[in-house]
Amino acid sequence: MLVGTVLCWSAWFFVIVNVNPFEASTLSFLFFYISFFLALLGTFSVLIFVVYRLFSRTELPLFRYVERSFRESFILSAICIFLLFLRGIDLLNIWNFSFFIVLLILLFSFSFSTRKVSTH
């Protein structure tokens, strides 16, 4: 997971260095957003995975930690990219930002409230 994240960050850096945003086509912006999304996804996945492994009260199989961290990092990355896209087309204002913060809080609250409790 860490190697893929480093490769995604290097791809994003390659796009930043080689693309002029004032002369860029739609495909160039698509490469920018996709590479940045994948880099954020990998970074958030690794960070959330480490937090789960260090601070988890129950010992779960490793794939459960990866599954949880990937799901939550996907949501975080998608929201970050969407906010960046809105900012790029000058549609992000304080109301949109507040709406997405509330949406983020609701998504994570729902995620935590639907966890199954073990009866053992």
Q: Which range (54-58, 69-73, 77-81) has the least confidence?
A: 54-58
Across the chain, what does the average pLDDT equal? 89
Residue 7: both structure tokens together: 């490769």
pTM for this model (two decimals): 0.81
Per-residue pLDDT at 29 exceeds 80? yes
Residue 70: both structure tokens together: 């990937």
User: Cα angle vertex 78, ends 75, 84, to 5°?
Assistant: 140
Q: Which residue has the higher pLDDT, 73 or 58?
A: 73
pLDDT tens-digit map of 31-44: 999 999 999 999 99
Predicted pLDDT of residue 116: 66
* 119 pLDDT tier (thresholds 50, 70, 90): low
Residue 46: both structure tokens together: 């690794």
Residue (of 99, 100, 83) closest to 91 by Cα position: 83
At residue 18, the 3 state secondary structure works out as helix
Residue (of 38, 15, 17) closest to 28 by Cα position: 15
